[in-house]
Each structure stands twice: as structure tokens, then as C-alpha cells.
Structure 1
């Protein structure tokens, strides 16, 4: 026998309030005092009440669904951001619809798909941000992660340049004459900012920047490109995955880390401490970044404003540098 669906009337009876009050709580109305709201939410949790999203959308004109656009979810940074956004959105009572562009993807088409699904707004990640600046996003509230400022949408992000400066300065302070850079994709804003921070640190030390080699964020590209850094004694890799590939290439060449060459990555992925040797890296707070993206977007959707700032990364020193 199918389980009876929990109704608003049942929640109202459990909480000792009117059905209208339950409706206001379900629709996030500010016209409910905190104690009553807490009592209704507890009754909802006790009974397993699930708001009818379709009905609520008809009443409020909002679906309580956010879109997320990414070039790919294969990179660790993007997958971490998806998890952070999904968890934060759920805590605010929103669902998430994901669109990936793939190679040569059309972001206008992605935005059209999200509009067709009635999302209240969308978050655009990393490599897709360059495309977002040229896209027909009219009518769609956007928060863009890691992008140059743009009056058409809100930009949030990590201070990648500051993190890269810290990594480069750490290597120079260890006595290295220069620091080589294993850079990310040329079209990536985050990669460009990390390269900029590396150049700033070298310039401040009066050191000419050596030529860079460029990967595509993958460990395989880090392994391939590290072969061009055979003279390096210090390498700053633009992400941890490429640093992992570089560690393998150095081991293949018989070069010891950190005795012969020091290596620093960026991101502090979950496995960074398990690399051989454990990787010194720059930590991004993906959870805080995802929470800020969701808070800013929901504030825009609901007619308010939320403060934005570049999130400060932190250098995590381990055994590789």
C-alpha cells in the first residue's frame, strides 16, 4: 500500500499553526517569526514533508532550482565546485541542474536549456567563464566563478595571483635561483591569474621569468610537459594534477624531489598529502567558494544583495618543496 503523502494540513496540526503559516514557511516568506518558523520546520522534518516544487513554482514564479554550467566535470576543481554548490544549494532549499559544454560546446545553447528548465539563475565555472562574456545570457541571473569583472553578472573567485605569489616566494626563499612554471590552459582565467602571480613574484625579486610550458590541467599533460623542464630546480605547477604528472616525470628521469628539484602545486586536492612525496600546494577553499556562489545568486534571485570578495588561498607546506 503506498505511503500517504504528508500534507500541509498535517504539518499545521503537528506544529499547532494555521495552514497559511505552513505555506509561508514552505515559500520562504519573511512574514514568520523565527520561533514559529523553527517549530514548523521541525514538524516538516518529523513528518517527512516535501514541498511540491511544481505547485510552489506556480505560486511564486520561482522553481527553487539553480543551473550550473561547466566546460567539463573531469577536472578535480570543477567536480569539487559542483559538490560544494550542490550541498550549499540543498541547505538553502534549492536543487541544481548541471549542463556541461564539452569540447567546442555552445554556452548560448546551455543557457537556452537552463531557461527551458525554468532555473531561477545559474553559476558558471572556470573555463566556461570566458564563453559567458560573449553569451546571450539576457534574462538569466548569473554568478560567474573566476572571471574578469563584468557589469552583466556578479563575479566571485579565489585570489589565484596571491596564491601563486606565495608559492613562488616560498621557492625563492629556499634559495632557488629561479622558479619554472607549468601553466594551465591559455584560455583559463584562473590559469592566467596564477601565471600573473608567478611573474609578479619573480619581478619583485629582480628575476627574469623563464619560458613557461603549458598543460591542460591533467596529470598526463603534467608528465609530458615536465620533460621540457629538465634544467629546473624549482617548479610551480598551476594545479595539483599537473604537479602529480610532473612528480612522475621527474622520478622517471632519476631526479629526486625535493633534493634535486622542488615542486609546488595548486588546489590542495584530497589526495595531495598522499603523493610521493606529499605535495606542497596552495589550498583553495572550494566549500567556501561554493557557498559564496550560492548565497550571492540566491540573494539576487530574492531581490537582495550579498557581499562578495576574493577568497584568500593558503600555502600548505609538505615534503615536495
Structure 2
């Protein structure tokens, strides 16, 4: 810093103010200091600055799986939003959702010097009686059922599922089958519950629920199974990856989408419009989720009152070519109420 000051012809205090982004430096002087920094290859010591300020400008992210599209896109959105605020992100995958693993993750984050933590908690964990997040930690939670204990940001899972089912019913389908995600997933549970309640509210029969694991392979197996169901004309898949496998399974069994069956997904992944046929799906605003999670963490760091409970990010249905009226819609009688 002293070398930069000598080269720029200013005081070390002025160099310090430029390094820390203070607005009190005249612009011409700032440019003079920056030019000296570039010439000497000077970079501020971020570790020393962090120790002096007591902040590290880093947000830790704990996640229990990197294999799902939703988690990966949420993580991408967090990193992007944090960078826009001048923060880095430190990722800490956790192998198993147990108390010891959670405690160990927070210990490691403390050692890595982070200012706050975002937990992507897709699986049932926070409501388990044996698992608690450490008290006093600045925490924001994504995709969970943490109640009023933490600030939570989640997609409107139920609203998106209802929109998918109503879209298919409005096209004239008697009922809608559902390919759900894994049992331990909060998102899968909310989407399945909304599917079931929407059918009951419409006084329609509720078919057997099929269970997948978010992968296209599980969707493919479901497609082979549903192709043999003569009464199945519409399917709501709990994510786009399973919908992709579903389309292939139906195709391999000689069933045409949407002529024989209509299919709706959930997520609106970037590739959804390139499926054959292009997939009707529920759009999630992952960018907004990331912004709200980072904003919640920063509000806690600034000692502002954070929102407790759950902030819901709206979804909307994107209609493409994978849905249509059922093949016999023109000659069908009005649907009879379910028993």
C-alpha cells in the first residue's frame, strides 16, 4: 500500500479508501490510485480486510443433494444473486440428512469463515424432532417446512400443481394421473397433495399415484406402465426430467403425445421447449428464489428484521404442444361424478 501511495503521489490513507470503495475520493485521484495498483500488481488483502471488519462477504450454502434440477438451479440463482451483491458463495454438500451431518456442516462453515448460511432443505428434516439447526446462526432456508422458526423461501408448489391439473381437466380429460417425486421430498408431497385435492374438488376419480425419483429413468418406467392403462389420457409429472422419460416410455409403447395422452411437467427447464413434443409445464422462477434467499441472508447480517415463516414465489403454466383434448372428446358424454 505504501508503494502504491508513493507511485500515485497520495497518502496511504487515500489508497485504503480507494481499496475499500469509499465515495469520499475525488474521481481523478481514484483513477490515479487504480492505475498505480495495476502497474504494481497490487491487490487488497481480502483476508486481512475481513478480519479487520469482522465480515467475510461470503454466504455458505448447505445442500443435501446436487442431483436434482431444482436444487442445481436454485444454487445457480443463489451464486448469481450473491455475486451481484458483492458476496462469494461457499458450497457444502452434506452426505446424509442427520443431526451429526448438519452439526458438522455448520462447524465446517464456521471454519471457512462465512457471514450467513442458506440451507437448501428439499427433504423432510427440519420438522424432525431429532434434528435442529444450531441456535444463533444466521440462516435462510429454501424448499422446506420449517414453520415460523426460520426465514423460508419456496415456490408455490401447490398452486403450480393445481394449474397443471385444471389445465388438463379444462381440455376435457375425465381425470389426471400423477407421477410423483420421492416420498421424502417436501416439493413432491405438496404437488401430490394439490393434485389429489384438485381432482376431488372437481368431483373426479383419483387414480393410483405412481412414484418416481426425479430421474428420467423413473419417468420411462412410468411411461411403460401408463401406456397399458386404457383409461389414462392425461398425466401430470412432478418434474420435467420424469416427464421426459415418460414421453419416451409412451413412444416406445406406440402411444402418441398428445393424440393419445397429454403430459404436463413441472420446472420449465431450458430444454423443455425442445422435447418431442415441446412440453407443457409449470414454470418456476429460480432467479427470484435466489434473490429472495440472498436478500433474507443479507437482511439478517444488517440486523434488519427478517421475514419469519415462508415467502412463496408464484408459478405459472407454460402451454406447449404436449397437451390437447382427449381423443374421444368430440363424442364423450359429460363426466360422471366419482363415487
Q: TM-score range by the shorter chain?
A: 0.7 to 0.9
Q: Are 1:102 and 2:95 counterparts?
A: yes
Shift of the 176–25 alpha-carbon distance from structure 1 to 2, 3 Å rule, reads: same
Deviation at 1:102, TM superposition (A): 3.4
CA contact (8 A) 2:61 2:90 kept: yes
Residues 117-128 of structure 1 correspond to what in structure 2 (within 5 A)? 117-128=112-123
Relative to the length of structure 2, the TM-score reads 0.81
Q: Are 1:60 and 2:57 counterparts?
A: no
Of residues 87, 91, 103, the one that matches 2:80 is: 87
CA contact (8 A) 2:8 2:32 kept: no
Residues 1-321 of structure 1 correspond to what in structure 2 (within 5 A)? 18-19=14-15, 21-22=17-18, 25=21, 51-102=44-95, 106-128=101-123, 130-131=125-126, 134-229=131-226, 230-231=228-229, 232-305=232-305, 309-321=311-323
Can you give the 5+ residue segments of structure 2 that lack an aligned partner in the other structure?
324-339
Deviation at 1:81, TM superposition (A): 1.3
Count of residues in correspondence between the two structures: 309
Residues 195-245 of structure 1, C-alpha deviations (whole Å, 9 max, x = no match): 122122212211232221111111111112333323221100000000001
CA contact (8 A) 1:124 1:132 kept: no
Q: Which has the higher contact order (CA 8 A, sep 6+)?
A: 2
Aligned Cα RMSD in Å? 3.2
Deviation at 1:290, TM superposition (A): 0.7
CA contact (8 A) 2:224 2:249 kept: yes
Shift of the 305–109 alpha-carbon distance from structure 1 to 2, 3 Å rule, reads: same
Report SS of the residue matched to 2:119: strand
Deviation at 1:42, TM superposition (A): 12
Residues 280-317 of structure 1, C-alpha deviations (whole Å, 9 max, x = no match): 00000111111111111111112124667311111000
Report SS of the residue matched to 1:99: strand
Matches of 1:209 and 1:42 in 2, distance apart?
72
Residues 47-73 of structure 1, C-alpha deviations (whole Å, 9 max, x = no match): 678543211221122211111111221
Relative to the length of structure 1, the TM-score reads 0.85
- 1:29 matched residue in structure 2: none
Shift of the 23–297 alpha-carbon distance from structure 1 to 2, 3 Å rule, reads: same
Can you give the 5+ residue segments of structure 1 that lack an aligned partner in the other structure?
27-31
Shift of the 150–24 alpha-carbon distance from structure 1 to 2, 3 Å rule, reads: farther
